[in-house]
A and B are shown apart, each in its own frame.
Chain A
Amino acid sequence: MQLTNRKVVVSNKEQSLAERMYLPAIAKGMMITASHLFKKSPTINYPDVKRPIATVYRGQHVLKRDDNGAERCTSCGMCAVACPAEAITMTSGERKKGEEHLYREEKYAATYEIDMLRCIFCGLCEEACPKEAIFLTDRLVDAQFERKDFIYGKDKLVEKMDARIDVSKRQTPEVLAFKKVEGLKHNELFDAKKLNKGHKH
């Protein structure tokens, strides 16, 4: 019974003189390798030349400040709840008088840590944030020798006012509009019916 049509009869035919001499075959093989001399190498000289990465790349996080230099984060914990990898931890602090230029609202994150080894760079924290405080950027997380060095605190996450980080590529008007869709409002419970009604795109 024939099961497939892929059957091939093995041929054990004697080699011809030219085949037994091997020289034509060697010449053929050498022409193949020689043809590669004239092909362009696909190598990118990495440290000198870097491959462009997408403008919406999801890399190392940044905690944004507002235009006055006050931290936007209010330590609500939405990002930590949304995080599927449980990489985010934080403790809250209460703003004192005279700290208005440091923190935008009365409550702020006293510590804020992201474990970069746990993080899967999915961007759900960014989506969950009601204060537009956390964003993923096109920066790569550096290599470290110790595991503890991968736990990034506020010193590494909060942006410096003299070196602000542009997140406009990830915070487009479309993204902002999408975040306003009623069913997706993150401080409301998820309701599929509401979502269908409100989602107009």
Chain B
Amino acid sequence: MTAFIIYKAIMCVGIFVLLLASAAYATLWERKFAAFLQDRKGPSRAGWGGLLQPVADGVKMFMKEEIIPNVSNRALFILGPSLFMVTAVITSAVVPWAKPVIIGGQTYDLQITDINIGVIYLLGVASIGVYGIMIGGWSSNNKFALLGAVRASSQMISYEIPMGIALIALIISSGGSLSLKSIVEGQDAGLANIVWQPLGFLIFFICALAETNRAPFDLPECETELVGGYHTEYSSMKLGLYLFAEYINMFISSAVIATLYFGGYNFPFAHEIYAKLGLAEGSAMVSLIGFGVLLAKIFGFICLFMWIRWTLPRFRYDQLMNLGWKTLLPLSLFNLAATVVVEYIRGNIHF
């Protein structure tokens, strides 16, 4: 029992640190990547090639004056960014990070918890995330913040529906389990889910962009119209938490996309390569390689997120709603129907 608690505690702390570190360096990479796309150099003064820039930004955020407007609802004003950060972090609980390791005859899952409703948990936590924005925007008592919050909540609600339907199609074609671990294991020997769900992946990816408030769906915080959007009144580390949680969200979204559609820690011809290298299944080395592969996939998706941000301009609000309700929703329903037909022909479902 003690060993179990220690193992889970190590997992939690490890993944928490991983999230914070990757989010910090995602901010730097975002600026660097944007600079490369625009023929610039990006931050280069702090540390070697700008490597200490996230530290400098963090120190700056902590040192800045903290202002809580006296017309705001103080308790909710503090609750907003906390809730947003907490929900961003706890989504990582169901992501399987690597193959289970066998140490001393004991199998250790490299996942905080494998619950059998993992996908629903993801959707649920993502929906709670919007409360962080909503509460923060409302309690600021500022019309720009409120508009940003309203935009964020209606956008999140609109895009959760096609996202959920795309996930139903995915679950049908991947064998009917809602546990992320079994979805990944299902792609271990066979093909990745993207092969059977290309349209579903496209829908899920667009919705993931919208759920993480990334461009071209960054209307809740668009500077040109709403000053700062929902975080207009925030300063110091509270603002830092909002900005930071956005990058954590991006990291988790990339991890979830990689897990659901691209085989997570699996890669083509994995077993042949392990056999050739003489690595036993369940050894630490195999897990490490799998973890590296997953991180590479996550990095790829983060780059894709950034690449899109620095290419496409922001949607107008009616375009956003049109895309969500008139395009993605019918498309996801079509995808669901098509998936059922295809799976019936493949003989995976019976009536």
Interface residues of A (CB under 8 A from B): 26, 29-30, 32-34, 36-37, 39-43, 45
The reply to whether A45 and B37 contact each other, CB–CB distance below 8 Å, is no
The closest CB in chain B to the CB of A31 belongs to B311
The reply to whether A41 and B307 contact each other, CB–CB distance below 8 Å, is no
The reply to whether A33 and B311 contact each other, CB–CB distance below 8 Å, is yes
On chain A, the residues within 8 Å of B40 by CB distance are: 41, 43
The reply to whether B36 and A30 contact each other, CB–CB distance below 8 Å, is no
On chain A, the residues within 8 Å of B44 by CB distance are: 45
**Proximity string of chain B (314-340) to chain A, C-beta cutoff 8 Å, 1 when within and 0 when not:** 000000000000000000000000000
Among candidates B38, B41, B311, residue contacting A30 with C-beta atoms closer than 8 Å: B311
CB distance from B150 to the nearest CB of A (A): 26
Secondary structure of the A side of the interface?
Answer: helix
The reply to whether A33 and B310 contact each other, CB–CB distance below 8 Å, is yes
If A33-B310, A34-B37, A39-B39 are given as contacts, then 17 extra A-B residue pairs at C-beta distance below 8 Å, sorted by A number, are A29-B311, A30-B307, A30-B308, A33-B37, A33-B307, A33-B311, A36-B36, A36-B38, A36-B39, A37-B36, A41-B35, A41-B36, A41-B39, A41-B40, A42-B39, A43-B39, A43-B40
Give Cα A34 to B34, complex, Å: 11
On chain B, the residues within 8 Å of A45 by CB distance are: 41, 44
Q: List 27 A-B contacts (CB under 8 A).
A: A26-B312, A29-B311, A29-B312, A30-B307, A30-B311, A32-B311, A33-B37, A33-B307, A33-B310, A33-B311, A34-B37, A34-B307, A36-B36, A36-B37, A36-B39, A37-B37, A39-B39, A40-B39, A41-B35, A41-B36, A41-B40, A42-B39, A43-B39, A43-B40, A43-B41, A45-B41, A45-B44
**In residues 179-194 of chain B, which contact A (Cβ within 8 Å)?**
none
Size of the chain B interface, CB-CB below 8 angstroms = 13
On chain B, the residues within 8 Å of A30 by CB distance are: 307-308, 311
On chain B, the residues within 8 Å of A39 by CB distance are: 39
Give Cα A145 to B37, complex, Å: 37
Give Cα A35 to B44, complex, Å: 22
Interface centre among A26, A30, A45 (most CB of B within 10 A): A30
Give Cα A37 to B34, complex, Å: 9
Give Cα A40 to B44, complex, Å: 16
CB distance from B140 to the nearest CB of A (A): 34
Give Cα A41 to B38, complex, Å: 8
The closest CB in chain A to the CB of B41 belongs to A43
Give Cα A40 to B36, complex, Å: 9
CB distance from A51 to the nearest CB of B (A): 15
CB distance from A23 to the nearest CB of B (A): 8
On chain A, the residues within 8 Å of B38 by CB distance are: 36
CB distance from B22 to the nearest CB of A (A): 22
On chain A, the residues within 8 Å of B311 by CB distance are: 26, 29-30, 32-33
Give Cα A37 to B42, complex, Å: 13
CB distance from A63 to the nearest CB of B (A): 38
CB distance from A57 to the nearest CB of B (A): 26
